[in-house]
Amino acid sequence: MCGIVGFVGKKSFDEKGGVNGAEVVVDGLKRLEYRGYDSWGVAIPGEKKILLHKAVGKIGGFELSSAPELKGTIAIGHTRWATHGGVTEINSHPHLSADKTIAVVHNGIIENYQEMRAKLEKKGVKFRSQTDTEVIPQAIQIELKKTPDFKKAVRNVLNELEGSYAVAIVVEGGKKLIGARKGSPLVFGIGKDGYYLGSDVPAFLKYANKAIFLDDLEMVEADEKGYEIINITTGKKVEKKITKIAWSIEDAEKGGYPHFMIKEMLEQPMVLDKTAATSNVELKKAAAMIKRAKQIWVVACGTALHAGMYGSYIFALNNDINLRPVSAGEFPYFAKFVGKNDLVICVSQSGETADVMEAVKSAHDSGAKVLALVNVMGSSLMRASDYSIVTKAGPEICVLSTKAYLSQVAMFMMLSYELNNKIAAGKKQLKAIKADAEKILVKDSLAKIKKVAKGLARADNIYAIGRGVNYPTSLEACLKIKEVSYIHAEGFAGGDLKHGPIALIAPGTPVLVFVANDGPKGAPFGGAAKEIVSNAMEVKARGAEVIGISYENNQVFDRYFAVGDHGIFTGIVAIIYSQVLSYYIALEKKLDPDKPRNLAKSVTVK
Ligand code: F6R
């Protein structure tokens, strides 16, 4: 939540070849908008004053040519998802000290800001905003009176902060960019023209493909000559590994598509291919951890939790292994049952989700091991886990998770096959699933889905039902629909229908019915398939419009979307229909599918 960007050029902007920091930072903010888009701002330290430009709303349409004064070798910027203080220009970052000589952008929450603010106000400091962030520049200004060494003064203030932060700091007339983190992500980029700070790698991927992933309580100071990283508590220098970023800038760009959401959905066959190519060494290591564990917990949030739930069905049906999925926010209630021989599998696209990170800490406190299935290399989760497999989605920019979900479920599938020593068969099956996914994403099929979406866009409520592996599929389908279209949507287990939810069905209510062939091989609608079709009959009898997403057509379906029969893995393909449906519903309602209201991609606060 909130994205921060910083840049310091290796050459002054006035020199030949020097780069305008404002250009880098504005570009970086546009790429980080998925982290928050309530308001944004940029600060450039000049000789005599800090140039500040802030605005409410998305940065997307802003052109630097409209603010030609924004020029400089050093710049910092912020795109906000409001936590403390309403969405106003005053509350947007960067925040300045009272004397306007220090500018700070911040991602995180300063938990002791009220105490700090009261202390500073007693000293006569006047605050402008309602944010927690403003205490940082204000406190640095006061600290500088005692400690004139700027770096030391910043360190002293950072040591006083409670809560979480990733910050970028500049000072009037200064030539240095300072970045620091505790509990919120911050990556330091190393490029040929300068040094970069970003909440995520896409912020500077266009300019640099080498990076240092800062750890908690680390602070970097960079200028045109070089950089130094120190520990914030001790002040001692820290040596850090430089990582080459595997992603390319094309992966993080729209590439001619109108939205990231459609681009990312269309990338899913490729993601499945890449997942099938996961190294056997990685799968074996993870499988060994699973085999050793007494109890296995799966902890995640939102879409990643649905992927974990799907994984738990795969392991139950294919491996006779019991995974216990728990929403990361609820995990503290069960943490007392986690033992030292347990394994906690954390699933996350960003690797920064606050509740997941807290679960990692609590698992480690109990002596349990943590295995991460995480998409962002170098993320906090990856670094905090005992072992991690990087899922193969590549950068996911759309706020809604689509390809990351597929990559997570497909990774559970690969692990399941590895545990049965049948990895070659798993790869073959995933290839077949990929071929099927491709068929859904061709022009004619998309046009058919779009037509159905047009009708659904008028609905007040949409429901989805599934059993077994398709229970999480139903939950995920409805999460996508509600977050992108703002239509109320709920997924249910077919068996739960008659225990209450069927009361919601009125004439014309659309119900998506997910059917997977998890019964005896070859039997038409065997196992759960038979039962979910009966549930479809029950809602149809009450007037529902039944949309079947199934490996076999049935007379109960008013509309039918076909998927191949991949047994318990059918949901991996079936979910694509509901993702595409959600996308077209949003377009029909003239909504921006990449940036739904109130949401941000990385939920780094609890
Ligand atoms: C929904 C969505 C969210 C995330 C959730 C967890 O489309 O994107 O529900 O899945 O916030 O995020 P990660 O996977 O980054 O931990």
Which of the four pLDDT bands, split at 50, 70 and 90, describes residue 249? confident
Instruction: Return the structure tokens found at 91.
Output: 């509350």
- Residue identified by tokens 């960019």 is 177
How far is residue 266 CA from its own chain's centroid? 18
User: 442-600: which CATH topology?
Assistant: Rossmann fold (3.40.50)
Distance in Å, CA 464 to ligand 1 centroid? 20
Residue 508 CA to residue 492 CA, distance in Å, equals 18
Contact indicator for 317, 468 with CB cutoff of 8 Å: yes
**Percent share of the chain, pLDDT over 70:** 99
Secondary structure element (H or E) that encloses residue 484, with its range: helix 470-485
Distance set, CA 78 to CA 169, 197, 199, 443 (Å): 11, 11, 10, 38
Residue 523 has pLDDT above 50, yes or no: no
CA angle 185, 486, 572 (to 5 degrees): 70
Identify whether the C-beta of residue 222 lies closer than 8 Å to the C-beta of residue 177.
yes
Whether residue 4 contacts residue 198, with contact meaning beta carbons closer than 8 Å, is answered with: yes
Under a CB-based contact definition with an 8 Å cutoff, are residues 536 and 465 in contact?
Answer: yes
Q: Could you tell me which residues come within 8 angstroms of residue 92 by beta carbon, excluding any fewer than 6 positions away?
A: 38, 39, 40, 41, 54, 55, 56, 78, 80
Distance from chain centroid for Cα 144 = 37
Nearest CA to ligand 1 atom 10: 303
Specify the fold of 254-439: Rossmann fold (3.40.50)
Among 199, 357, 380, 401, the mutation site with the greatest number of ligand 1 atoms within 8 A of its Cβ is: 401
Q: How far is the CA of 264 from the centre of ligand 1 (A)?
A: 15
pLDDT of 606 above 80: no
CA 601 / ligand 1 centre spacing (Å): 7
Q: What is the pLDDT of residues 367-420, one digit of tens each?
A: 999 999 999 988 899 999 999 999 999 999 999 999 999 999 999 999 999 999
Mean pLDDT of the 212-226 span: 96
Note if 601 is an active site residue.
yes
> Which of 1, 199, 303 is the best mutation target for the ligand 1 pocket, counting ligand atoms within 8 Å of the beta carbon and taking the most?
303
DSSP 96: E
- Backbone φ, ψ for residue 204 (5° rounding): -130, 10
Atom of ligand 1 nearest to the CA of 399: 8
Ligand 1 centre distance from Cα of residue 401 (Å): 6
Active site residue 2: yes
**What is the dotted CATH code of the domain comprising 3-251?**
3.60.20.10
Mutate to test the pocket of ligand 1, among 299, 301, 348 (most ligand atoms within 8 A of CB): 301
pLDDT attached to residue 519:
61
Contact criterion met (CB below 8 Å) for 176 and 75: no
Substitution site in 380, 407, 603 for ligand 1 pocket (most atoms within 8 Å of beta carbon): 603
Residue whose CA lies nearest to ligand 1 atom number 6: 301
pTM of the predicted model over 0.85: yes
> Residue 599 pLDDT more than 90?
no
Name the more confident of 61 and 120: 120
Give residue 581 CA to ligand 1 midpoint distance, Å: 19
What digits encode the pLDDT tens for the residues 16-59? 889 999 999 999 999 998 888 889 999 999 888 999 999 999 88
Ligand 1 midpoint to CA 74 (Å): 33
CA distances from 154 to 63, 71, 142, 220, 295 (A): 33, 25, 11, 11, 45
Higher per-residue confidence, 173 vs 197 = 197
Question: In this structure, which residue's CA is closest to atom 3 in ligand 1?
Answer: 302
**Does 3-251 match 254-439 in CATH topology?**
no
Between CA 410 and CA 416, with CA 412 as vertex, the angle to 5 degrees is 115
Domain boundaries, the chain: 3-251, 254-439, 442-600
Q: Judge residue 374's burial from the number of C-beta atoms within 10 Å of its C-beta, 0-12 exposed, 13-18 middle, 19 or more buried.
A: buried
375 secondary structure, DSSP code: S
Is the pLDDT reported for residue 567 higher than 50? yes
Which atom of ligand 1 is least distant from the CA of 301? 6
- Token pair listed for 530: 């038979």
Cα separation of 13 and 19, whole Å? 5
Dig out the tokens for 187 from the structure: 């990556």
Closest residue CA from atom 7 of ligand 1: 400
Q: 85 or 344: whose pLDDT is higher? A: 344
* pLDDT reading at 520 higher than 80: no
Q: Using the mean position of ligand 1's atoms as its centre, give its distance from the Cα of residue 301 in Å.
A: 6
Q: Give the residue from 15, 22, 16 showing the smallest Cα distance to 72.
A: 22
| Rounded Cα gap, residues 408 and 314, in angstroms | 12
Residue 115 Cα distances to 122, 139, 158, 160, angstroms = 11, 12, 15, 11
How many C-beta atoms surround the C-beta of residue 96 within 10 A? 22
Nearest-5° angle of CA 22, CA 35, CA 182? 90
Distance of alpha carbon 33 from alpha carbon 42, whole angstroms: 14
Residues within 6 Å of ligand 1 by CB: 301-304, 348-350, 353, 356, 400-401, 479, 483, 602-603
Q: What percent of the chain has pLDDT over 90?
A: 87
Closest Cα to residue 27, out of 77, 87, 89, 80?
Answer: 77
Assign 180 a pLDDT band (cuts: 50, 70, 90): very high
pLDDT tens figures, 328-374: 999 999 999 999 999 999 999 999 999 999 999 999 999 999 999 99
Residue 369 CB: number of other CB atoms within 10 A? Answer: 18
In ligand 1, the atom with minimum distance to the C-alpha of 404 is: 14
Write down the catalytic residue from 2, 301, 398, 478.
2
Q: Whole-angstrom Cα distance, residue 204 to residue 28? A: 6
Q: Are 390 and 559 in contact (CB under 8 A)?
A: no
Mean pLDDT computed over every residue of the chain:
94
315 residue type, one letter: F
Least confident of 53-62, 194-203, 303-312: 53-62
Structure tokens at 587: 């377009």
